[in-house]
Protein backbone atom coordinates (compact mmCIF):
# COMPACT_ATOMS: atom_id res chain seq x y z
CA UNK A 1 0.00 0.00 0.00
CA UNK A 2 1.25 3.45 -0.83
CA UNK A 3 1.93 6.11 1.77
CA UNK A 4 -1.02 8.33 0.75
CA UNK A 5 -3.48 5.44 0.95
CA UNK A 6 -2.08 4.34 4.33
CA UNK A 7 -2.41 7.88 5.68
CA UNK A 8 -6.00 8.16 4.48
CA UNK A 9 -7.08 4.72 5.70
CA UNK A 10 -5.44 5.13 9.10
CA UNK A 11 -6.49 8.76 9.53
CA UNK A 12 -2.89 9.89 10.09
CA UNK A 13 -0.61 12.44 8.47
CA UNK A 14 1.29 11.66 5.31
CA UNK A 15 4.54 12.17 7.21
CA UNK A 16 3.63 9.65 9.93
CA UNK A 17 2.47 7.15 7.32
CA UNK A 18 5.82 7.54 5.53
CA UNK A 19 7.69 6.94 8.80
CA UNK A 20 5.61 3.82 9.49
CA UNK A 21 6.21 2.48 5.99
CA UNK A 22 9.95 3.16 6.22
CA UNK A 23 10.08 1.39 9.60
CA UNK A 24 8.15 -1.58 8.20
CA UNK A 25 10.63 -1.93 5.33
CA UNK A 26 13.51 -1.52 7.79
CA UNK A 27 12.13 -4.52 9.71
CA UNK A 28 11.51 -6.46 6.48
CA UNK A 29 14.29 -5.51 4.02
CA UNK A 30 13.66 -8.59 1.88
CA UNK A 31 10.35 -7.07 0.77
CA UNK A 32 12.06 -4.15 -0.99
CA UNK A 33 14.39 -6.64 -2.72
CA UNK A 34 11.37 -8.71 -3.82
CA UNK A 35 9.54 -5.60 -5.06
CA UNK A 36 12.60 -4.51 -7.07
CA UNK A 37 12.91 -7.99 -8.58
CA UNK A 38 9.23 -7.96 -9.59
CA UNK A 39 9.56 -4.49 -11.09
CA UNK A 40 12.63 -5.57 -13.04
CA UNK A 41 10.85 -8.69 -14.33
CA UNK A 42 7.86 -6.67 -15.52
CA UNK A 43 10.04 -3.99 -17.13
CA UNK A 44 12.36 -6.44 -18.90
CA UNK A 45 10.12 -9.43 -19.63
CA UNK A 46 6.60 -8.05 -19.25
CA UNK A 47 5.54 -10.86 -16.92
CA UNK A 48 6.06 -12.59 -13.58
CA UNK A 49 5.49 -16.21 -12.59
CA UNK A 50 4.26 -17.79 -9.39
CA UNK A 51 5.98 -20.83 -7.87
CA UNK A 52 3.82 -23.18 -9.95
CA UNK A 53 5.01 -21.45 -13.11
CA UNK A 54 1.78 -19.58 -13.86
CA UNK A 55 2.67 -16.65 -16.08
CA UNK A 56 0.98 -13.29 -15.50
CA UNK A 57 1.59 -10.45 -17.95
CA UNK A 58 1.65 -6.77 -17.00
CA UNK A 59 2.47 -3.54 -18.76
CA UNK A 60 3.85 -0.54 -16.93
CA UNK A 61 2.25 2.63 -18.27
CA UNK A 62 1.74 6.17 -17.04
CA UNK A 63 -2.00 5.47 -17.06
CA UNK A 64 -1.66 2.63 -14.54
CA UNK A 65 0.24 3.91 -11.49
CA UNK A 66 -0.80 0.91 -9.34
CA UNK A 67 0.48 -1.79 -11.67
CA UNK A 68 3.23 -2.83 -9.23
CA UNK A 69 0.61 -3.34 -6.50
CA UNK A 70 -1.24 -5.60 -8.93
CA UNK A 71 1.97 -7.49 -9.74
CA UNK A 72 2.81 -8.08 -6.06
CA UNK A 73 -0.75 -9.22 -5.30
CA UNK A 74 -0.98 -11.49 -8.34
CA UNK A 75 1.66 -13.92 -7.14
CA UNK A 76 0.10 -14.96 -3.79
CA UNK A 77 -3.44 -14.77 -5.20
CA UNK A 78 -2.61 -16.97 -8.18
CA UNK A 79 -0.65 -19.35 -5.96
CA UNK A 80 -3.68 -19.88 -3.71
CA UNK A 81 -5.86 -20.36 -6.79
CA UNK A 82 -3.43 -23.00 -8.06
CA UNK A 83 -3.39 -24.74 -4.66
CA UNK A 84 -7.21 -24.86 -4.63
CA UNK A 85 -7.38 -26.16 -8.20
CA UNK A 86 -4.82 -28.89 -7.51
CA UNK A 87 -6.71 -29.89 -4.37
CA UNK A 88 -9.97 -29.94 -6.33
CA UNK A 89 -8.46 -32.39 -8.83
CA UNK A 90 -7.22 -34.62 -6.01
CA UNK A 91 -10.61 -34.57 -4.25
CA UNK A 92 -12.51 -35.47 -7.45
CA UNK A 93 -9.97 -38.21 -8.27
CA UNK A 94 -9.69 -39.75 -4.79
CA UNK A 95 -13.22 -39.17 -3.43
CA UNK A 96 -15.56 -39.40 -6.44
CA UNK A 97 -18.57 -39.94 -4.18
CA UNK A 98 -17.99 -36.51 -2.64
CA UNK A 99 -19.55 -33.72 -4.68
CA UNK A 100 -17.57 -30.51 -5.25
CA UNK A 101 -20.12 -27.75 -5.87
CA UNK A 102 -17.94 -24.69 -6.52
CA UNK A 103 -14.73 -22.83 -5.90
CA UNK A 104 -15.20 -19.54 -4.08
CA UNK A 105 -12.12 -17.32 -3.90
CA UNK A 106 -9.88 -19.41 -1.63
CA UNK A 107 -12.17 -22.31 -0.81
CA UNK A 108 -13.99 -25.32 -2.18
CA UNK A 109 -17.63 -25.97 -1.37
CA UNK A 110 -18.48 -29.68 -1.16
CA UNK A 111 -21.29 -31.90 -0.02
CA UNK A 112 -21.35 -35.46 1.24
CA UNK A 113 -23.53 -37.74 3.37
CA UNK A 114 -23.49 -36.89 7.09
CA UNK A 115 -23.06 -40.54 8.11
CA UNK A 116 -19.56 -40.58 6.60
CA UNK A 117 -18.67 -36.97 7.40
CA UNK A 118 -15.71 -37.62 9.71
CA UNK A 119 -14.01 -39.94 7.23
CA UNK A 120 -14.43 -37.41 4.41
CA UNK A 121 -13.32 -34.45 6.50
CA UNK A 122 -10.06 -36.11 7.50
CA UNK A 123 -9.33 -37.21 3.94
CA UNK A 124 -10.21 -33.81 2.43
CA UNK A 125 -7.78 -32.07 4.80
CA UNK A 126 -5.05 -34.51 3.70
CA UNK A 127 -5.83 -33.91 0.02
CA UNK A 128 -5.78 -30.13 0.49
CA UNK A 129 -2.10 -30.19 1.56
CA UNK A 130 -0.50 -29.17 -1.71
CA UNK A 131 3.27 -28.64 -1.73
CA UNK A 132 4.22 -25.16 -2.94
CA UNK A 133 7.71 -25.42 -4.44
CA UNK A 134 9.58 -22.91 -2.31
CA UNK A 135 12.81 -23.77 -0.55
CA UNK A 136 11.84 -25.21 1.87
CA UNK A 137 8.52 -26.58 0.57
CA UNK A 138 5.53 -24.59 1.85
CA UNK A 139 2.19 -26.13 2.84
CA UNK A 140 -0.84 -24.02 3.65
CA UNK A 141 -3.12 -25.81 6.07
CA UNK A 142 -6.86 -25.91 5.44
CA UNK A 143 -9.83 -25.95 7.74
CA UNK A 144 -13.41 -27.06 7.31
CA UNK A 145 -16.67 -25.25 7.95
CA UNK A 146 -19.84 -27.32 8.00
CA UNK A 147 -23.60 -27.04 8.11
CA UNK A 148 -26.45 -29.48 7.65
CA UNK A 149 -28.74 -26.51 6.89
CA UNK A 150 -27.18 -24.22 4.27
CA UNK A 151 -23.98 -22.65 2.98
CA UNK A 152 -24.75 -19.47 4.93
CA UNK A 153 -24.98 -21.43 8.19
CA UNK A 154 -21.50 -22.98 7.99
CA UNK A 155 -19.42 -22.93 11.18
CA UNK A 156 -15.78 -23.86 11.65
CA UNK A 157 -15.08 -27.29 13.13
CA UNK A 158 -13.05 -27.27 16.35
pLDDT per residue over 53-88, tens digit each?
A: 999 999 877 777 788 889 999 999 999 999 999 999
**Dihedrals phi, psi of 16, to nearest 5 degrees:** -65, -40
The pLDDT of residue 95 is above 90:
yes
CA dist 78 and 41 (Å) reads 17
The pLDDT of residue 129 is above 90:
yes
Per-residue model confidence (pLDDT) at position 32 = 92
Per-residue model confidence (pLDDT) at position 123 = 93
DSSP label of 133:
-
The pLDDT of residue 36 is above 80:
yes
Global pTM value: 0.81
Burial of 67 (0-12, 13-18, 19+ CB in 10 A): middle
* Mean of all residue pLDDT scores within the chain: 91
Instruction: List Cβ<8 Å contacts ≥24 apart for 65-74.
Output: 67/42, 68/35, 68/38, 68/39, 68/42, 69/1, 69/2, 71/38, 71/39, 71/42, 72/34, 72/35, 72/38, 74/48, 74/50
* Residue range 127-139: mean pLDDT, rounded: 96
Per-residue model confidence (pLDDT) at position 113 = 84
Amino acid sequence: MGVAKLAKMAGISYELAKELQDFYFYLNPELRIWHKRLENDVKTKGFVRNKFGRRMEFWITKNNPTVMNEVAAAIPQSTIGDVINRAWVKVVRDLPELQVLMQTHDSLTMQYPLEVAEVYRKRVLELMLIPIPYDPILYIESDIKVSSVSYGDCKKLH
